[in-house]
Chains A and B, each alone.
Chain A
Amino acid sequence: MKASVIVFPGSNCDRDIKVALEKFQIQTTMVWHQESTLPKVDLVVLPGGFSYGDYLRCGSMASKSKIMKEVIKHANDGGYLIGICNGFQILTETQLLPGVLLRNKNLKFICRYVDLLVKNNKSAFTKKYKSNEVIKIPIAHNEGNYYGDKKLLDELNSNDQIVFQYSDSKGNINDESNPNGAALNIAGIVNKKGNVLGMMPHPERCIESLLGGTDGSGVFQSILQ
């Protein structure tokens, strides 16, 4: 399997995701945002970071980068696309994924391990997880408070587009286990077609027990399957 990681000015998890992909034997090339063509790949990743310094709105300027035309085309053609953290914000700005990511409810940056319920383990990105499995993956963001109107949230629910939800260690979804105020405790969603994933938690940060856990591995193993 082959992947491209898009590097924007201000991306800072680009190396981390490359290391993770390569750990799972996914051949990875880095693509600078000003390129006009994408190599032929199965998977494109928009990494975490502060593209364009988060100026204007997180992800907004990156979503207009030259390479993004190609990335959108790749997704529309059915290729896999993952946006992690700032990447998720970019995906909502391009409208490849619905909704928006607002500032965290406590107005502070939050970096810590959180419990996540795998709500949908049938997606291309989660099929290695068990149904309703609770996993631990770290978050690190200032704007991860997912928002959508009732109609959108109902739609996400009925289409089974919600893949990860913030939960407690037993899988209960409640306000106490919601770190950032996200609607329905949403931590990650897929598009209707199921080939585009956006998630605030960083799976690339927990694929090694030395660094605190391995629960992120499932995302990479799922794509390989």
Chain B
Amino acid sequence: MKEVNLELAIQHGLKEEEYKKIQELIGRVPNLTELGIFSAMWNEHCSYKSSRHWLAQLPTKNKRVVQGPGENAGVIDIDDGDVAIFKIESHNHPSYIEPYQGAATGVGGILRDVFTMGARPIANLNALRFGSPDHPKTKHLLNGVVAGIAGYGNCMGIPTVGGEVEFDSSYDGNILVNAMNIGVAKKDKVFYSIASGVGNPVIYVGSKTGRDGIHGASMASQEFDEDTESKKPTVQVGDPFSEKLLLEACLELMKTDTIVSIQDMGAAGLTSSSIEMASKGDMGIEIDLNKVPCRETGMTPYEMMLSESQERMLIILKNGKEKEAEKIFKKWELDFAVIGVLTNTKHLVLKFNNETVCNLPISSLSDAAPKYQREWIEIKEPEAIDLSNKVKDINLKTMIEKLVSHPNQANKSWVWEQYDHMVMCDTAQFPGGDSAIVRIHGSKKAIATTVDCTPRYCKAHPYTGGKQAVAETYRNLCAVGAEPIAITNCLNFGNPEKKEIMGQFVGVIQGMKEACTKLNYPVVSGNVSLYNETNGVSILPTPTIGGVGLIKDVQQSVNLKFKKENNKILIIGKTEGHLEQSILCYDLLHLNKGRPPKVDLDEELKNGKFILSMIGKGLLSSVHDISAGGIVLAIIEMCMSSSIGANITTTKKDLDRIKYLFGEDQSRYIIEVEEKQLSKVLDEAKKLNITISEIGKTQKDNLTIDQDITFKIEDLKKLNKEWFYKFNN
């Protein structure tokens, strides 16, 4: 065995003071296996050592929250004894190294987090961010990631119903792959990961353990450099077929009365699963590593403990129930092995070839893990800048064409048609809408879900950006008629040891906190991904928010497609023409200075409630939130999705017209209303003090702006659809 010393500890990603602390905690020099275990538990990915202090400030409760952060996934009550269980997680680093497997196992991992808790997964989403389309790796990464997500989710038979795809050069060396899953369970049949009962057997089920993914979590806690390619062996290899069997076997087992607790083996595999379960129950755990099913011969305790082989679970069974459980796993042709026992020693004890190869206090690995109060600097809101000179001469018609054909606004069907978004036969709203809608099987209710973030706003002013990301998901849920309930978050940032990056993190958290509190829309689960940097260059701060809402009667939900000609089109919310950090300035004119649009949470709440009540009364034919690209893109999207045109009048001239059409003021919606319902909508708006203005009417085939600019919807559709197909051809 290698001699353990400071140098080896540093190679394991530990700092000098952390290595010292380990020796103090256990009163001796750890052996190699123990060092590996410490490095796995103490890295950023598993310990949240830089972020924990700040995460604790986020609100985590409302009357529907059953389980907040701290479990495999969050749980919310969706009435009738049902709960929705969901979480989002990053798989950024592995996906950059090996896009297909990295993305596939990202999906596999998040699925296990959800079905571990007793839920049948019903919807996958993902938020993907790639470098500039001109970057030589982008096409390869895009194709690999999308195929990987498709390969895993499709085989599992779980629909992938929504997501985001965005390109920005800040992701050139560090793409983001955030995968979210939602499952549904009965409230009284939720399973947790807290171990209990001295003498209860510890069971290993699923695939065999191989040498893949060793130190994956440590890898995900480091910056990238030129040697990144050499890290391929740290990427796990996925087998969705095994996971499908594991899913069915676990759900079958959960119907029996045999399980004490259950936890998936995700990052840091057997190490983190066994330690987390024991730690939560304040128990000890003893494992005989000779019993661990191995795929390869000659695996050492070090390798077994640090492998991140996929499709594995750790289960604490009630004593004596082993036979009953084993029968189920045999039926599904999966490995089942009793590998250990719960003890009262509060130690993790590992045996191999009749020798003790590890004996560590559980608390030294979990509670005693380092926590850092990283230094940070407050990032202030930038000065307002006047962009009038830069935009006053643009040609509106050309700019609209550029807008709809820009990769970030282009139709993403090339992506989502590779995902089976219909399997399970409950997808009531396909990708491309404001939120996906998935019916709860066998009922008339549905959940709506969306993932959103505007990283350029977060970069300009993290506090506003954090607030905006939360508010945008809220708006997208309201837009389909769903009552927003709670969020999950995936916080993707650069190196937290840099003060500005930590400042971004803190600012975003403070903004999120305010939005979640005000909107009564708490965080129930999430994940933090730091060190998203290559050669010292950080990504845009990207706090991906996954929102989940409830629709009581799915037949009442609405979408963004215009329904018929000669209906009224109205704008809800205040339009001030905020151009700084808009798509027009940032992506089309490359002016990335200035403030993001302000987010008035009172306005957000008020407008959201108004939209929900109007949808509830059946008064709205279609609804779309106004976000990136402003009013003009929102209307075009409503036209393109329905092939119905619109005739709009801005009553503004030149500069003001550009501001009006492209400005990205928040808390706004576009609604389509039948003439005969108009007075009811206006009356209600007046009563509730809602800002509402008429902008035009739906019409046949064309989009007309102020009678002087006309587009054929078919032409816009073609422009909008072309980009992905050409790029990937």
Contact = CB atoms under 8 A, between A and B. Distances in A.
Interface of A: 9-10, 12-13, 15-16, 19-20, 48-50, 52-55, 108-112, 138, 140, 142, 202, 204-205, 208, 210-212
Nearest to A142: B154
A109 B418 contact: yes
A50 B155 contact: yes
Nearest to B428: A210
B439 A109 contact: no
B564 interface: no
B332 A9 contact: yes
A140 B554 contact: no
Contacts of B419: 109, 111
B425 A16 contact: yes
5 contacts: A10-B155, A13-B423, A53-B241, A108-B147, A110-B417
Given A9-B332, A19-B425, A140 B420 contact: yes
Nearest to A210: B428
Contacts of B421: 111
Given A50-B241, A53-B239, A9 B333 contact: yes
B245 A138 contact: no
Nearest to B151: A109
A109 B150 contact: yes
Interface of B: 147, 150-151, 154-157, 239-242, 244-245, 332-333, 413, 416-428, 430, 439, 554-555
A54 B239 CA distance: 11
B425 A112 contact: no
Nearest to B421: A111
B556 to A, nearest CB: 11
The 10 tightest CB contacts between A and B, nearest first, are A12-B157, A53-B241, A50-B155, A16-B425, A140-B420, A111-B420, A109-B418, A112-B417, A109-B150, A205-B422
Contacts of A52: 241
A208 B416 CA distance: 22
A210 B240 contact: no
Find the residue from A13, A48, A210 having the highest chain B CB count within 10 A: A210
A111 B416 CA distance: 8
Contacts of B427: 211
Contacts of B413: 112
Nearest to B334: A9
A50 B240 contact: yes
B241 A210 contact: no
Nearest to B150: A109
A48 B245 CA distance: 16
B156 A12 contact: yes
A19 B443 CA distance: 13
A205 B428 CA distance: 11
Contacts of B147: 108-109
A111 B417 contact: yes
A20 B425 CA distance: 10
B423 A140 contact: yes
Contacts of A13: 157, 423
Nearest to A55: B241
Given A19-B425, A54-B155, A204-B425, A109 B241 contact: no
Find the residue from B332, B333, B422 having the highest chain A CB count within 10 A: B422
B423 A212 contact: no
A208 B426 CA distance: 10
Contacts of A12: 155-157, 244, 423
Contact of A210 (B150, B157, B239, B439): B439
Given A109-B418, A111-B421, A140-B423, A49 B157 contact: yes
B418 A110 contact: yes
Nearest to B120: A15
B417 A211 contact: no
A202 B422 CA distance: 10
A53 B423 contact: no
Contacts of A15: 424
A16 B155 contact: no
B151 to A, nearest CB: 8
Given A10-B244, A50-B157, 4 more contacts: A9-B332, A53-B242, A140-B423, A212-B430
Given A16-B425, A19-B425, A210-B439, A10 B241 contact: yes
Contacts of A202: 422
A12 B157 CA distance: 5
A15 B241 CA distance: 17
B422 A50 contact: no
B325 to A, nearest CB: 19
A113 to B, nearest CB: 9
Nearest to B244: A10
Nearest to A49: B157
Contacts of A20: 425
B186 to A, nearest CB: 17
A50 B423 contact: no
A50 B244 contact: yes
A9 B241 CA distance: 8
A140 B154 contact: yes
A10 B18 CA distance: 46
Contacts of B239: 53
A211 B425 CA distance: 7
Contacts of B333: 9
A140 B424 CA distance: 12
A16 B417 CA distance: 20
Contacts of B156: 12
A19 B422 CA distance: 14
B422 A138 contact: yes
A15 B423 CA distance: 10
B433 to A, nearest CB: 13
A49 B425 CA distance: 13
A208 B424 CA distance: 13
A111 B240 contact: no
